[in-house]
Structure formats: C-alpha cells, structure tokens
Structure 1
Amino acid sequence: MSSWWNDSTDQVTVCSRSALVELAAVLPAAGRFIVVRLDGTRMTDADHAFYEFSDALLFPGYFGWNWNALSDCLRDLKWLPADGYLIVVENAPRLLPCSVEDRHTLFQILAQAVRHWASPFGQPEFKVVLLCDRDDEAALLRQEIADAVHKMR
C-alpha cells in the first residue's frame, strides 16, 4: 500500500499512474465522499480552468470567474456538503500550458485549499491529486508546485 494519501495532509499530491494505492487509503471509513475527475488537457487557459472546476464542483451562480473566486469556492463548498472531497486532475503536466503564472496561481490555490481543510476539528477531508503519465513528469511537477507554494509564503 502506498502511503501518499496519509502523508500529504498539507500539500497537493502528485503521482504517476503507476503508483499503487489501496482504496481504503483513499476513501474514509464512512460518510459521503465526493470524487471529482478533471482533465488537465481541457484547462488550456484560466477561463477553461474556471469552467472545469465550476462544472465539476457545481459552483453557485455567484462564482466570479477569477482566481480569487476559485479560491473562495474551494475553501467553502457549503452547497455540496460531504464528509470529504477528492479532486483528481489527470494529465496534470498539461495544465495551463500558455501561462506559467496562471499555472503557479492554480497550484497555490489548490495548496491553500488543502491546508484550509486540514483541520483536527472534524472538518471534511479535502485532497487534491495530480496524475502524471510517468514518474519523471511527476518529479518535475512536484518541484514546480513546491516552487509555486514557496513563492506565496
């Protein structure tokens, strides 16, 4: 069993498709868990990223279609109550290919949302997994996320 799920409470998790994960390590023992699958190839720019997240997580009509609104919605989710949330982004290395700045902003927002929900006081679990085709892609993406998150501190 891989322990990536339990070891990544305060960060976005990056793994290759070859990583082995037991279902029990991903899902909570009980309760309602929402799993959302997104495709990085569909998020070619910020507007497409906003659409994909909004569509998958059923963002409310007041969603503002900007980075601040995405951050706010990912840290709220009261319209979609659950005991936990898992966001899986396939083809993650292909996210936002035309703007490194937007890509880093998205990584920062995802990391902030994971940290926001990581509370010992019974808040829902919130995990983000970025899937890569190969181990070398995963290693590069991990470093890019670390750099982006380091910039926001």
Structure 2
Amino acid sequence: MMNNWWSGSTNQLAVCSRGALVELAAVLPATGRFVVARLDGTRMTEADHALYEFSDALLLPGYFGWNWDALSDCLRDLNWLPAGGYLIVVENAPQLLSGSAEDRHTLFRILYQAVRHWASPLGQPDGKVIPFKVLLLCDRDEEGALLRQEIAYVIDKMW
C-alpha cells in the first residue's frame, strides 16, 4: 500500500511505519543533487548524542555551537552542503530523545521550522523552493500515531 502523505504539501515532517511504501518521487527532487541523512533514534536518546548525530550525518561545519540554537541555524543554512533537496530519515524515531520531552519538543520544533524555511522561496538562492523533508520511521502504528500527535502538539504550540 502506497502512502500519499507527502503529496500536495511542501511543509512535511512525516511519521511512517517502517513497512510502509513511500513514493520516491514525492520525497526527493526529480533531478539534481540531493542529500540523504540517515540517523538512528536509539543513538539519540540524549541531547548531546542527538547533536552529535546531526553533526556527523550532515557534516556540520566547525563553527557549529553544539546547542539547539546552533542546530536550528545550521539546518536553515546548509551552504557547506549545497543540494537540490534534503531528506533526513530518523530510524527508531520513538526512541529519539526519549529521556526528555522538552528536548524532544525542541527538536521537533527545529525540524519543522527548517522544513518551512526551505519550503519558502523568500531568502532562497534564485527564489527557488528547495525540498527539505524529514521522515520519522517507527516499528508499530501505535508509535507512529503517538509521534504524529506529539508533533501536532508542538506545531500547534508554535503558533
């Protein structure tokens, strides 16, 4: 069964069960260079570990400040890693920052803001929208539903 939660929207922070099929054309740009960063939620249970994994996966620059604000800034810049699109895949997403709801909400807010930033032509090179997608993979539907609710709560609190 094909999931269609990517289609029709450029503002996606999506949760998906590991066994679901995702249409590649809906996730990645049709042509050009793209970056795929794979992270593992089981290695990111604490903030320091999460920052390290993002730094490693996205080759964050030496001036990265090792805090949430610095991650937010880097995810909305990425000039050291130019591409026609970006896909961040977090496997085992329910374990992501499982020890701190506050850190987890902060990271979801940062990821959502990055998705929205790249979806806007304002401030982008040539005024072009650049796909920036985040896919959170789960083992069970219940975990996916809980993550979707948590993300919706975080996004709602932002506005």
TM bin (shorter chain): over 0.9
* TM-score, normalised via structure 1 length: 0.95
Same amino acid, percent of matched pairs: 76
Q: Aligned partners of 1:138, 1:79: CA distance in 2, in Å? A: 33
Q: Aligned partners of 2:24, 2:89: CA distance in 1, in Å? A: 14
Q: Aligned partners of 1:7, 1:143: CA distance in 2, in Å? A: 21
Q: 1:14 is matched with which residue?
A: 15
SS at match of 1:82: coil
Q: Aligned partners of 2:151, 2:21: CA distance in 1, in Å? A: 22
**Any stretches of 5+ residues in structure 1 without a counterpart?**
none
2:52 alignment partner AA: Y
Aligned residues: 153
Q: 1:45 is matched with which residue?
A: 46
Q: Aligned partners of 1:63, 1:45: CA distance in 2, in Å? A: 18
Judge conservation of contact 1:18–1:134 (CA < 8 Å) in 2: no
User: Residue 25 of structure 1: CA displacement?
Assistant: 2.4
**Any stretches of 5+ residues in structure 2 without a counterpart?**
122-126
Q: 1:88 is matched with which residue?
A: 89
* TM-score, normalised via structure 2 length: 0.91
- Structure 1 runs (4+) greater than 3 angstroms displaced: none
Q: Does 1:29 align with 2:53?
A: no
User: Residue 2 of structure 1: CA displacement?
Assistant: 2.5
Q: Aligned partners of 1:114, 1:27: CA distance in 2, in Å? A: 14
Alignment of 1:3-152 (within 5 A): 3-120=4-121, 121-152=127-158
User: Residue 26 of structure 1: CA displacement?
Assistant: 2.3
1:76 alignment partner AA: D
